[in-house]
Amino acid sequence: MVREFKYRGYGLEQLQEMPMEQFLNLLPSRQRRSLNRELSHEKKVLIEKLRASNGKPVKSHARDMVILPFMVGKSLEVFNGKEYLKVDIKSEMLGHYLGEYATPIKKVVHGTPGIGASRSSLYVPLK
């Protein structure tokens, strides 16, 4: 049994046909406030590029852009501070920020300590 996606009681098709003002009322207050204030130049450029894209990923630095219904099914490359990470937009991502899916923090992986790094490392056998 496949469960149909619903965002606050509306299906994806209904959300895509819905006027933007009505969709904004469904969003949480922080996202609604971000979109009600005037969009920055880079957000406007991102929206234009996404509407014109034909399957090619669009590169963007706009990590604070809220994912809107027309973006579902598109692919983006979001800058994380070092590189562009590919993000495929799914319906479950509606209302979240792009930056949530391109984390700038990598897991810390420690190597083995060198000789003299601590008292116990004096007894680490050399290869």
Instruction: Summarize the confidence of residues 68-88 as an average pLDDT.
Output: 94
Residue 123 has pLDDT above 90, yes or no: no
When pLDDT is averaged across residues 60-86 and rounded to a whole number, the result is 94
CA distance 8 to 27: 9
Task: Give the model's pLDDT for residue 122.
Answer: 65
Q: What is the pTM of this model?
A: 0.81
Query: Which CATH code for domain 12-103?
Result: 3.30.860.10
Model confidence over 2-61: pLDDT tens digits? 889 999 999 999 999 999 999 999 999 999 999 999 889 999 999 999 999 888 999 999
How is the chain split into domains, by residue range? 12-103
